[in-house]
Structure 1
């Protein structure tokens, strides 16, 4: 069975340090105005980067959910 993953960001906790964008540039991007854009659906080839972004977030604002 193929599994898929979904990223979620708690905007109340996120302080836009940009560490997630460093870890997973294909999923996260800081905007010029200080916002954060991110791709919710995680492609299979970006799973390790998404996991690294979750682990590295200092405010624990990012979660990764497995979808079946």
Structure 2
């Protein structure tokens, strides 16, 4: 999760031990782009991300949900 507000970030961190494997596997990143950007780029190639998340300007998603 990216751009999680501070209150939700704390609540999710507190819920992690109680929620089992689902939240255990989830990474929660706050609103500080300088902190979460390097972590995202270690796991997802830049060419697979939209520009807002550190990817390339010409990124075109294959499918869009939401």
TM-score (norm 1): 0.28
Normalized per residue, the structure richer in strand is: 1
Normalized per residue, the structure richer in helix is: 2
TM-score (norm 2): 0.29
